[in-house]
């Protein structure tokens, strides 16, 4: 699993093959998009918070989908990702929204 060290002037996308965790409601399209780009998607729509947290621990980065702030599980998962110092990106453009 690779480490992401973006240049602040030009953020780069995570390397292909990196493992990601998708946080937020209705993320099925985002998961398919990430797999097409060559990323390993770890969560696969886990509805059990404990299983989701276990998958998050193996991720290289987290991807959020619109509305994640209103999803109780996603809010907890993103908070944990920040504490774990994982980069957080938005799904649509894979733009960096949080870098520890």
Task: For residue range 48-88, list pLDDT tens digits in order.
Answer: 888 888 899 999 999 999 888 898 888 899 999 999 999 99
Phi, psi of 21 (to 5 degrees): -125, 130
Residue 3 reports pLDDT greater than 60:
no
> Tell me, what's the pLDDT at 45?
67
For residues 87 and 96, is the Cβ–Cβ distance under 8 A?
yes
Question: What is the side-by-side order of every strand in the sheet holding 88-90?
Answer: 40-41, 19-23, 61-64, 88-90, 96-98
pTM of the model: 0.81
């Amino acid at each position: 699993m690779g480490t992401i060290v973006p240049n602040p002037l030009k953020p780069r996308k995570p390397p292909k093959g990196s493992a990601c965790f998708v946080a937020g409601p209705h993320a099925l399209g985002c998961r398919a998009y990430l797999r097409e780009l060559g990323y390993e998607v770890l969560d696969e729509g886990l509805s059990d918070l404990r299983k989701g947290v276990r998958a998050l621990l193996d991720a290289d980065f987290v991807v959020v989908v619109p509305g994640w702030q209103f999803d109780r599980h996603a809010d907890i998962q993103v908070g944990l990702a920040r504490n774990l110092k994982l980069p957080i990106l938005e799904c649509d453009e894979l733009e960096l929204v949080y870098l520890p």
